[in-house]
Structure 1
C-alpha cells in the first residue's frame, strides 16, 4: 500500500512539474479541444460537466475510439478502460459475460448499466448478462464511472456505472450498410439511417442481426436482432422532447465451462447439448428537457420496460455420481423471469451566482411487477462422454413460482460550489426505499410464505477537485454504495442459515489527471473499497450453487491510463490496474477464511494499444492498431487447495494470460473494409477459470483461439 501511494504521489508531482515547464516553454494558444477542461462527460450527474469538475475516476470512449475499434463485442470497447475487465468468450459465450471493476470476476450485482443516464433494468432484477439486452450499434459514446455512484444513480453502482449514450440524429440524411463475418462462426448484418428533415426534428434508426453457427466450441450457436429508434424534437427554443425505443430479441446456446482435461487437450466438445437462454427486451423512454431560464433546467423522464428471459441454464445442471462414477442421470431446472416497469424520474438543476455553485435535486419511482417460475428437470447423461444429452421437465415440480411487486422510490440532491476558482467541492445525498411484495403461487409446495420485505438506505458522497492549471488537476472523494438483495436470490435462498442481507460499501479515492497539448494524457486513481455483507456464491454439500453474505471484504489498488501522441499519426496507450481483493471477515462450513485472497480476482489487468493512422489523400485513409491484453494470475478458489493424486496439496490457481490482437481499417470514399486478427499467437487461455471442489479441479470458460474477423461498410 505504501508503495502504491508513493508511486501516485511521485507521478502527481512529476506531472505538475512537467505541466509548469510546458506552459513556460510555449506561450501559443492551445486549441480548446485539447484542453482537459473541455473534455465533457455526463455520467457523474446526468448533466454535461467538464472532466475537471468530476471528483471521481471517469473514462470516456468517444466516437473516434468506437469507430476505430470496429468492435463486434462490447468487451472490445470497455476493456480499454483502466481497471475494467469484461470477461467474455467470443468463441462461445455469445455476449454472455462476467465483469470485474474494483472487484473479482463475477456475476454479482455490482455494476449499473445505463442508456443515456437511465437504468436499463430495475434495481433488484439485475442480470449480469444485461448488456446483451442492448444494441451496441447505436452508441455514440461510452462513459465508465468507477466506484460507487449510488448518490445519483441508485443501488448496484458499486464497482462502476456504464453509461451507453445513443447517437444523435445527423444534420443531413446519412446512413450505412455493413456486413461482418469471422471464423468463430459469427455473421452480422447492420444498417443505420439518420436525418434532420427540419430544423426542429431529427431521427436515428439503427439495427443489427447477428448469428453464430458451428463455432470452435460445440453447442455455441446464437441469434440476435436489435433495433434502436431515436427521435429528437425541439418543440421550441426552451423545450426539447427526446424518445428512444429499443427492442432486443436474443437466443443462445449455453456451452458451459470445460473440464481441465478437455481445456488442456483442446477438446472443445461441450458437456451440454440442450442448455440455452432466450431473452426479449423492450424499452421505451420519453424525456422532456425544459430550460426555464439561464439558470434553471428540468428534465422529465418516463420509461417503460417489458422483459422476459427464459433459461435452461448449464450452471444449474448436476450430474449424479456413485463413488465418483457417473450414473447416467442428473438434475437441472428450467426457469422464466418476466417483468414490466413503469418509471418516472424528474431532475432539476439550478445554477447560482454565488461561488459558481449549482444544485441538482431529483426524485424517482420505479414500479416493476415480476413473475418468476422455476421447475426441476431430469437429465440423461452419457456415461462414456460425460455429455448431458437430453432432459425432461417435471411440470409442476416447482423450485420457485411467485409474483413480486417491486417498488423503489428515491430522492437525491447534489450540490457543487467553487469557493476559489481552482477548487470545486461536490456533496451528494440519496435516500432509497425498496418494497418487495412477494406472493407465493405454490404455497406449501415450494418457496416461502407470502411476505413484504422492505429495505432503505441513505447514501452520501463528498468529493473535491483542485485544478492547478488548465491541463492538470487532482481530486479526492468518499462515497458509499448499497445493493439490496435480488428478488430471486432472496427467496431462493431464504432460511435461517442463508438469509440474504443488503450489501454496503465504503469507497475512499484520490486521483489525478493531466494533458499536454495532445502529446500526453494521464489519468490515475488510488482507491480502497470496504464491503460489508458482500454477496458471494458457494456450493453446498449437494453440489448446488447458493448465495450468501461474507462478513466483510476489502479491495484496494491503483488504476491508470497513459496516452502518448508523438505526432498526429501515432498514438500509444497503456491502461492498467494493480489491485488486491481480500476477505477480511469470512467463515464457511466452520472454517475461518478471514484475511485471505478472494477467488477469481486477478491483481493485474492491462491493455496496451499502438495505433498508426494515415490519410493518403482526400479520399483514402487507413489505420492499424496492435493490441495487447493482460490478465494476471489469480486463485480460483478461496479454499485455495487442490488434492493431488499422491496425497499432496496445491493451490488452486489460474496462471493468467497475454493475448495479442491486430486491427486494420481502410476507407476509400464511402467504403470501409476492416479486419481483425485475434489471438495472433494462438495462446490457450480462459475468459474465466473457477474451481469445482466436487471434481477437485479447475473448470474453464475458453477464450477465443486464433481467429480472423472481416467487415465491410458502405456509408451514404
Structure 2
C-alpha cells in the first residue's frame, strides 16, 4: 500500500541521513515546531515542550489549560467557556505576544490577533501540542515573542478505525467526541467531531461549541504527498465579568453582565505539498482562513460599552526549499511566506444602566430604550511578504550551529467607511464616563512596518544521554488592526481625534532574548532545564487608569523578563510515575512612563507570578490493563495586581484527580475531579476603580464519561 510506504518515508530518510553522517547519537525526542519539520530535539537550540497525543487522550481536557498548565513555565487561565489568557515568559496577558499554529500554519493573520485563539482549534481531538518558548520570529514572523503553541492534527489510520465518546458533568456539562478514518491505496483520511455544551457554573454563563477536523493524506509518488486539512469551530458563549471582594467570597456565582456574549466562527483549509529526496525537501502550503466574531465585550462595560462585529479572510501560502550537504552535515533552508488578509470592523456604542447590588458591586443591564450609535465602520487589509533563510552546520562531531534571518514587510490598507474616507470624531451614547463619549477616526490611509529578525544558536552533545544549548533571537510584534485604527473613548472630540492620529504612529515591539539549557535522561529519569533573559522595547500596552478604568494604547519603554524553567519525569517503580514542572521568573518595568505622569520604573509587572509549579503522581498497574489514576497539584504563586505594586493576590494551590479504567474490549470508563478540595480561587485578579477584582475560578467539578473504539 503506497500510503503506508510514504508515511514512513520522511522518518526513514531523516534517520538514514543522520546515521550516515554522525557517529554520536543525540536525544531521541523530535520537534516539528522549531524548524517547521521533524528534527531531533537534542539539536534544537530552543526550549520546546510537547504534550503527547497519549496525554491528551488520557487527560481529555475540558479546557486547554488542563494540559498546557503541565508544561514548565506555562499558565493558561480560564475566561469563560474555552476563553483564555496566556502567560509564557510574559505576564498573564491578552496582548499579541503569542503565536498559535495548526500544523505549523498560523490560525489567524497578524493583523487580526485573538488571545482566545485556542478555542478556534479542536484541541481535545488533536494529535498533540508543542510549545516553543521564547521568540520564534526568524521562522514565523510577528507575534512569536513569549512563545508559539503548535496544535498538531491526528494522522489518519492505516486501516478502518472509529471512536465514540460521551461524557457528562457538573453545571450542565456534556460533550460528544467522535473520530474515525481509513486508508486505501494512495489515500488515508481521518474526521473528528466535537460537540460540547455547558450551562456554566456562574449565572447566565452558557457555552456551546461545535468543532471538527478533516485530514486527508494522499501519496503522489514514492517521494511526494499532499496533506489537506479542513477545520472549523463555532463557539457561542455568554461572558462573566469580574467580581469585587465581597462578591468573590460570598456570591461567586454572580454575573453582573448577563447580556455580554461572544459568537465565533472560524474556518481553515490548507493543502501541503511535500516532495522529499535523500538531500532535498520542497514544501508549498497554500491556505485559506475565514474568521468572524460578534461580541459585546465584558471588559469594556465600565468605561466604553460597545458591541461590534469583525470579519477577516486570509489567502496565503508558506513555502520553503531545504537542501542537505554531506560535508559537516550542513543544511540550508530558504523560504517565502505570503499573507493577504482583508477584514472589517463594524461597531456601535450601546447604553447601559448601572445598579449597586447587595455586595457593593456594580450590575449592568442593556438599556434597549436607548438606540445604539454607530461609532466605527472600516475595511482594512493586512498584507505581509516574508522571505527567510535558515542554516545549520556541525563543525565538530558534538557541535551543531544554527543561524537564521527573516525579513517581514507588512502593510495595512485602511478605508474609513464611516466618514467617507475622511478624518473626524463621532459622539457615541452618552455615559457617566468620560462624559459624552467621543471616538476619533483617521482618514483612509496605508500604514507599513518592516523588520529584520536574526537568530543564532548552538547545541552540544555531552553524551548520548545529555545535550545542552545556547541561543540568541530577535523578535518583533506589529500592532494589531484594532490598536492602530480603533481609538478609545474620550471626553471630547478634540481628544478623540488627537488619539486616533497618534495611533497611526505606534511602533512595533522589539525583543532580544538570550537562553541556555540542558536536557537529558539518566536511567528512569528524564529532565530539562532552561534559563532565559529577555528585554522588550516599545511594548504596546493598553494603559488602564486604576481609578477610571479608561484604557489607551501606547508604546511604553522597556521591560525585562528573566527566569528558570525545569521539568522532570521519573519512573518511581513498576506502576508509579512522577512528573513535575517548575518555573521561577521575574518580570519588571525597566523604563516605563505612560500618560506623561505614571512612572513604574523598577516595579514588577502586574499579573506576573514568580512561581509556577505542576506535579503529577500517576499509578498504572498492569491489572488495570492500560488504565491509570493520576493526582495533580498545581501551584500558582502570588503576584501584583497593579503596575504600581500596591495590591497583591496571594496565589493558590489546586488539586485535580483523574482516573480511567478499560472494562471490555475497546471500551473505557473515565472520570475526573477538578479543584478536588473546592478551593476558592481566582483565574485572574486585578484592580478596578482602585479596588481588587476577581475572575472567579471553578469550584469542585466532576466529569465522567465512556469511550468505545472499533
TM-score, scaled to structure 1 = 0.89
Q: Does 1:58 align with 2:52?
A: no
TM-superposed CA distance for 1:396, in Å, is 7.1
Does the CA contact (< 8 Å) of 1:381 and 1:390 recur in 2? Answer: no
Bigger mean CA offset, 544-553 vs 384-393: 384-393
Q: Does 1:622 align with 2:627?
A: yes
- Identify the residue that residue 670 of structure 2 maps to in structure 1: 674
- Identify the residue that residue 16 of structure 2 maps to in structure 1: none
Q: Does 1:299 align with 2:319?
A: no
- Identify the residue that residue 553 of structure 1 maps to in structure 2: 559
TM-superposed CA distance for 1:441, in Å, is 0.7
Q: Aligned to 2:626, what secondary structure does the other structure show?
A: strand
* Mapping 1:9-20, distance limit 5 Å: none
Q: Select the residue among 348, 351, 354 that pairs with 1:378.
A: 351
TM-superposed CA distance for 1:543, in Å, is 3.0
TM-superposed CA distance for 1:169, in Å, is 0.5
Does the CA contact (< 8 Å) of 1:375 and 1:395 recur in 2? Answer: no
- Identify the residue that residue 349 of structure 1 maps to in structure 2: 322
Does the CA contact (< 8 Å) of 2:554 and 2:594 recur in 1? Answer: no
TM-superposed CA distance for 1:496, in Å, is 6.0
Bigger mean CA offset, 35-44 vs 215-224: 35-44
Q: Aligned to 1:131, what secondary structure does the other structure show?
A: helix
* Mapping 1:198-217, distance limit 5 Å: 198-213=184-199, 215-217=200-202
Does the CA contact (< 8 Å) of 2:27 and 2:466 recur in 1? Answer: no
Bigger mean CA offset, 251-260 vs 498-507: 498-507
1:7-42 deviation per Cα after TM superposition (whole angstroms, max 9, x unaligned): xxxxxxxxxxxxxxxxxxxxxxxxxxxx86221110
Q: Aligned to 2:410, what secondary structure does the other structure show?
A: strand
TM-superposed CA distance for 1:185, in Å, is 2.7
TM-superposed CA distance for 1:621, in Å, is 3.4
1:383-436 deviation per Cα after TM superposition (whole angstroms, max 9, x unaligned): 446322223397673332110111011001110000111100000100001010
Q: Aligned to 1:73, what secondary structure does the other structure show?
A: coil
Q: Does 1:287 align with 2:277?
A: no
- Identify the residue that residue 477 of structure 2 maps to in structure 1: 483
Structure 2: stretches of 5+ with no match in the other structure = 1-24, 427-439, 488-498
TM-superposed CA distance for 1:216, in Å, is 2.4
In the alignment, the residues of structure 2 paired with residue 199 and residue 132 of structure 1 have an alpha-carbon distance, to the nearest angstrom, of 35
In the alignment, the residues of structure 2 paired with residue 383 and residue 625 of structure 1 have an alpha-carbon distance, to the nearest angstrom, of 44
1:508-564 deviation per Cα after TM superposition (whole angstroms, max 9, x unaligned): 0010001124x0011010001100011222225753323222200000010010111
In the alignment, the residues of structure 2 paired with residue 591 and residue 110 of structure 1 have an alpha-carbon distance, to the nearest angstrom, of 23
Q: Select the residue among 613, 620, 627 that pairs with 2:620.
A: 613
* Mapping 1:399-414, distance limit 5 Å: 399-414=375-390
TM-superposed CA distance for 1:82, in Å, is 0.2
Q: Does 1:688 align with 2:673?
A: no
Q: Select the residue among 643, 650, 674 that pairs with 1:655.
A: 650
Q: Aligned to 2:396, what secondary structure does the other structure show?
A: coil
Does the CA contact (< 8 Å) of 1:273 and 1:387 recur in 2? Answer: no
Q: Select the residue among 401, 404, 423 that pairs with 1:425.
A: 401
1:53-97 deviation per Cα after TM superposition (whole angstroms, max 9, x unaligned): 1001011111222222221221111111100001115xxx10111
Q: Does 1:591 align with 2:575?
A: no
Q: Select the residue among 296, 300, 315 that pairs with 1:312.
A: 296
Does the CA contact (< 8 Å) of 2:72 and 2:581 recur in 1? Answer: yes
Q: Does 1:236 align with 2:221?
A: yes
- Identify the residue that residue 436 of structure 1 maps to in structure 2: 412
TM-superposed CA distance for 1:497, in Å, is 5.9
Does the CA contact (< 8 Å) of 1:69 and 1:76 recur in 2? Answer: yes
Q: 1:568 to 1:414 in 2, by over 3 A?
A: farther
- Identify the residue that residue 35 of structure 2 maps to in structure 1: 45
Q: Select the residue among 447, 458, 476 that pairs with 1:453.
A: 447
In the alignment, the residues of structure 2 paired with residue 393 and residue 135 of structure 1 have an alpha-carbon distance, to the nearest angstrom, of 40
- Identify the residue that residue 644 of structure 2 maps to in structure 1: 639
Q: Does 1:175 align with 2:162?
A: yes
Q: 1:336 to 1:52 in 2, by over 3 A?
A: same
TM-superposed CA distance for 1:278, in Å, is 0.5
Q: Does 1:578 align with 2:563?
A: no
In the alignment, the residues of structure 2 paired with residue 127 and residue 59 of structure 1 have an alpha-carbon distance, to the nearest angstrom, of 23
Q: Does 1:601 align with 2:577?
A: no
In the alignment, the residues of structure 2 paired with residue 497 and residue 455 of structure 1 have an alpha-carbon distance, to the nearest angstrom, of 16
In the alignment, the residues of structure 1 paired with residue 182 and residue 613 of structure 2 have an alpha-carbon distance, to the nearest angstrom, of 39
In the alignment, the residues of structure 2 paired with residue 370 and residue 660 of structure 1 have an alpha-carbon distance, to the nearest angstrom, of 43
1:344-403 deviation per Cα after TM superposition (whole angstroms, max 9, x unaligned): 111111011120011111001100001111110001233446322223397673332110
- Identify the residue that residue 259 of structure 1 maps to in structure 2: 244
Q: Select the residue among 70, 95, 98 that pairs with 2:60.
A: 70
Bigger mean CA offset, 652-661 vs 566-575: 566-575
TM-superposed CA distance for 1:217, in Å, is 1.0
In the alignment, the residues of structure 1 paired with residue 371 and residue 44 of structure 2 have an alpha-carbon distance, to the nearest angstrom, of 54
In the alignment, the residues of structure 2 paired with residue 591 and residue 70 of structure 1 have an alpha-carbon distance, to the nearest angstrom, of 45
Q: Aligned to 2:248, what secondary structure does the other structure show?
A: helix
TM-superposed CA distance for 1:574, in Å, is 1.0
Q: Does 1:365 align with 2:370?
A: no
Does the CA contact (< 8 Å) of 1:412 and 1:431 recur in 2? Answer: yes
In the alignment, the residues of structure 1 paired with residue 600 and residue 654 of structure 2 have an alpha-carbon distance, to the nearest angstrom, of 33
- Identify the residue that residue 24 of structure 1 maps to in structure 2: none
Q: 1:244 to 1:391 in 2, by over 3 A?
A: farther
Q: Aligned to 2:139, what secondary structure does the other structure show?
A: helix
Bigger mean CA offset, 586-595 vs 466-475: 586-595
In the alignment, the residues of structure 2 paired with residue 542 and residue 625 of structure 1 have an alpha-carbon distance, to the nearest angstrom, of 46
Bigger mean CA offset, 227-236 vs 496-505: 496-505
TM-superposed CA distance for 1:256, in Å, is 1.4
- Identify the residue that residue 82 of structure 1 maps to in structure 2: 72
* Matched length: 650
* Mapping 1:63-142, distance limit 5 Å: 63-88=53-78, 93-142=80-129
Q: Aligned to 1:166, what secondary structure does the other structure show?
A: coil
- Identify the residue that residue 515 of structure 1 maps to in structure 2: 521
Does the CA contact (< 8 Å) of 2:60 and 2:124 recur in 1? Answer: no
TM-score, scaled to structure 2 = 0.89
Does the CA contact (< 8 Å) of 1:406 and 1:436 recur in 2? Answer: yes
Bigger mean CA offset, 279-288 vs 389-398: 389-398
Does the CA contact (< 8 Å) of 2:81 and 2:207 recur in 1? Answer: yes
In the alignment, the residues of structure 1 paired with residue 119 and residue 353 of structure 2 have an alpha-carbon distance, to the nearest angstrom, of 30
Q: Aligned to 1:489, what secondary structure does the other structure show?
A: helix
Q: 1:267 to 1:707 in 2, by over 3 A?
A: same
Q: Aligned to 1:77, what secondary structure does the other structure show?
A: helix
In the alignment, the residues of structure 1 paired with residue 62 and residue 252 of structure 2 have an alpha-carbon distance, to the nearest angstrom, of 26
- Identify the residue that residue 665 of structure 1 maps to in structure 2: 660
In the alignment, the residues of structure 1 paired with residue 124 and residue 160 of structure 2 have an alpha-carbon distance, to the nearest angstrom, of 18
In the alignment, the residues of structure 2 paired with residue 568 and residue 82 of structure 1 have an alpha-carbon distance, to the nearest angstrom, of 25
- Identify the residue that residue 533 of structure 1 maps to in structure 2: 538
In the alignment, the residues of structure 2 paired with residue 222 and residue 398 of structure 1 have an alpha-carbon distance, to the nearest angstrom, of 28
1:303-359 deviation per Cα after TM superposition (whole angstroms, max 9, x unaligned): 00111011011111127xxxxxxxxxxx61001110000011111110111200111
Does the CA contact (< 8 Å) of 1:529 and 1:556 recur in 2? Answer: yes
In the alignment, the residues of structure 2 paired with residue 364 and residue 604 of structure 1 have an alpha-carbon distance, to the nearest angstrom, of 38
TM-superposed CA distance for 1:181, in Å, is 1.5
In the alignment, the residues of structure 2 paired with residue 592 and residue 542 of structure 1 have an alpha-carbon distance, to the nearest angstrom, of 18
